């Protein structure tokens, strides 16, 4: 099963490689990884999505917690959380197909961020399912390039 882990770390050189090295050295898999500073000075937040059975995820969480530079690990999969990913997509868009692509852009609330004679570059934000659905729909036009940020996630305020 796919899990989203929110990992708070000390913002110091080498911390990313400690985390990534843990995954590669122990044969765990990283699906996506996103890291940036938080409001708190010296602290960064990593969002890691990974796939594994319960036993593997339990090991990953425990091993992460064992790293001296890791402050906190939360498995958001067990909680109500908001997940988003931003993606840039460059899609073939000859004149005949352009209108249809723009309709899809509307429906998915994407933005067109660059246009050329036969291409459109789209910006889309959403959860995993929405991104997959859009890529699925656009693929028949021919997607030339994709750049994804990887998931960022946050626990919802209200846990019901």
Partner 1 sequence: MELTGAQIFLECLKKEGVEVVFGYPGGAIIDIYDQLPNYPFKHILVRHEQGAVHAADGYARATGEAGVCLVTSGPGATNAVTGIATAYMDSIPVVIFTGQVPTPLIGNDAFQEVDIVGITRPCTKHNYLVKDINELAFTVRQAFYLARSGRPGPVLVDLPKDIMQAKAEFVWPEDVSLRSYNPNLTPHIGQIKKVAKLIEKAERPVIYAGGGVISSGAEDELTWLAKSLNIPVTATLMGLGAFPGDDPLWLGMLGMHGTYAANMAINNSDLVLAIGARFDDRVTGKVDTFAPKATLVHIDIDPTSIQKNVAVHVPLVADCKSALSSLKSVIEPILDQTYSEDSHAVWVRQVQQWSETHPLRYNKGGSFIKPQYVVEKVYEISNGDAIVATEVGQNQMWAAQFYKFKKSKSFLSSGGLGTMGYGLPAAIGAQMAFPDRLVVNIAGDGSIQMNIQELMTAVCNDLPVKIVILNNGYLGMVRQWQELFYNRNYCETCMDAQPDFVKLAEAYGAVGFRVTEEKDVVPVLTEAFALPKVCIIDVRVDPEENVYPMVPAGASLADMLLV
Q: What's the CA gap between 109 and 20, in Å, rounded?
A: 34
Query: To the nearest whole angstrom, how small is the minimum distance from the Cβ of residue 37 to partner 1?
Result: 16
Q: What's the CA gap between 124 and 136, in Å, rounded?
A: 14
| Contacting residue, 1, 38, 66, 133, with partner 1 by CB under 8 A | 66
156 burial type by CB count under 10 A (0-12 exposed, 13-18 middle, 19+ buried): exposed
Q: Between 68 and 107, how does the x/- string for binding to partner 1 read (CB under 8 A)? A: xxxxx-----------------------------------
Return the ∠ at Cα 125 (arms to 41 and 4), rounded to 5°: 60
Q: Which stretch binds partner 1 (CB under 8 A): 64-72, 100-108, 123-131, 149-157?
A: 64-72
Query: To the nearest whole angstrom, how small is the minimum distance from the Cβ of residue 81 to partner 1?
Result: 22
Query: To the nearest whole angstrom, how small is the minimum distance from the Cβ of residue 106 to partner 1?
Result: 46
* DSSP strands (E only) in the chain: 2-10, 32-37, 43-51, 70-75, 81-92, 111-115, 119-126, 143-148, 152-155
Q: Which stretch binds partner 1 (CB under 8 A): 6-14, 76-84, 110-118, 135-143?
A: 6-14
Query: To the nearest whole angstrom, how small is the minimum distance from the Cβ of residue 21 to partner 1?
Result: 5
| Contacting residue, 2, 65, 109, 156, with partner 1 by CB under 8 A | 65
The half-sphere exposure of 60 on its side-chain side, counting CA atoms within 13 A, is 27
**Interaction between residue 63 and partner 1 (CB under 8 A):** yes
**Interaction between residue 148 and partner 1 (CB under 8 A):** no
Q: Which of 82, 86, 107, 101 is nearest to 141 (CA)?
A: 101
List of residues contacting partner 1 (CB under 8 A) = 10, 13-14, 17-18, 21, 25, 55, 58-59, 62-63, 65-72
């Amino acid at each position: 099963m796919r899990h989203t882990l929110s990992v708070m770390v000390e913002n110091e050189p080498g911390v990313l490689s400690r985390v990534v090295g843990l995954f590669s050295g122990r044969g765990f898999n990283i699906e996506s990884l996103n890291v940036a500073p938080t409001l708190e000075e010296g602290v960064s937040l990593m969002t890691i999505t990974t796939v594994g059975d319960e036993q593997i995820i339990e090991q990953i969480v425990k091993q992460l917690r064992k790293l001296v530079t890791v402050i906190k690990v939360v498995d958001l999969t067990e909680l109500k959380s908001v997940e988003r990913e931003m993606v840039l997509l460059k899609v073939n868009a000859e004149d005949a197909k352009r209108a249809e692509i723009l309709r899809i852009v509307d429906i998915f609330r994407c933005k067109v961020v660059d246009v050329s004679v036969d291409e459109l570059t789209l910006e889309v934000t959403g959860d995993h399912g929405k991104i997959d659905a859009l890529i699925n729909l656009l693929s028949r036009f021919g997607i030339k390039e994709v750049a994804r940020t990887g998931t960022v996630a946050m626990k919802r305020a209200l846990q019901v």
